Amino acid sequence: MATVVKICGITRVEDGLAAAHAGAHAIGLVFHPASPRFVTIDRAREIAQRIPPFVTVVGLFVNPDPQTVEAVLREVPLQLLQFHGDESPELCAGFGLPYLKAVRMAPGTDLLQYAARYGGAKLCFWTPSKTGCTAAAEKHSNGGRFLETCRCRWSWRAGSPCIMSAKRFARLAPGRWM
């Protein structure tokens, strides 16, 4: 399986198009109002409608209520959901789309137990943070693996193909790319 690249935090049509034309396989739209990369439903729809075919549009949420996700899905053609809060397995699976579920790492976190809780999803998304790293359980029908760019060198050495998710390393400023 080839490495796949996801650029997250897209806030402008031109950045989404630049990411797609540069070869990204997915773009991420952030629906968490506290994020500097937050996009409104109208802006997200505008971006998603301009993204070329075969580029996956991902919606990122943090502790949303189901009505918020449903409102986004009515207006924005998302193909994958990404959850970064304390969402239950039922909430994550309740929208009929594949999803990623972030796990906040702390001493004693049992990733296998966490993956089992989310339907046996693979543990495959790491992102560095001030307290260590974050992992995510992936529930995705194609079996792809998501890794943060700074961790992909390790993955390649281990012979594990991945999907790179760039959100901090390719950005000019919060919400500005390329």
Domains, the chain: 4-168 (3.20.20.70)
Q: What is the pTM (predicted TM-score) of this model?
A: 0.74
CA distance 61 to 126: 17
- What share of the chain has pLDDT > 90, as a percent? 46
* pLDDT per residue as tens digits for the range 104-151: 766 777 777 777 788 755 444 444 444 444 444 444 444 443 333 333
Q: How confident is residue 176, by pLDDT bands cut at 50, 70 and 90?
A: low
Q: Which residues contact 26 (CB under 8 A, 6 or more apart)?
A: 4, 5, 6, 7, 55, 56, 57, 58, 80, 163
Q: Which residues contact 15 (CB under 8 A, 6 or more apart)?
A: 7, 176, 177, 178
**What pLDDT was estimated at residue 5?**
84
Residue 62, pLDDT score: 95
DSSP helix/strand/coil, 18 = helix
78-102 confidence digits (pLDDT tens): 999 998 888 999 999 899 998 888 7
Torsions phi, psi of 119, nearest 5? 75, 30
Distance between CA 27 and CA 78 in Å, rounded?
A: 10
Dist CA 77 CA 126 (whole Å): 26
In the prediction, which pLDDT does 150 show? 32
Mean pLDDT taken over the chain: 75
Q: Beta strand 4-8 with 26-30: parallel, antiparallel or unpaired?
A: parallel
Q: What is the pLDDT of residue 158?
A: 38
pLDDT of residue 6: 87
Half-sphere exposure of 159 (CA within 13 A, CB side): 0
Q: What is the model's pLDDT at position 18?
A: 94
pLDDT at 175: 53
Ranges of beta strands (E only) in the chain are 4-8, 26-30, 56-61, 80-83, 99-104, 122-123, 127-129, 132-139, 146-148, 163-166, 171-173, 176-177
**Residues 175, 11: Cα–Cα separation, whole Å:** 5
Please tell me the distance from the alpha carbon of residue 41 to that of residue 28, in angstroms, as a whole number: 13
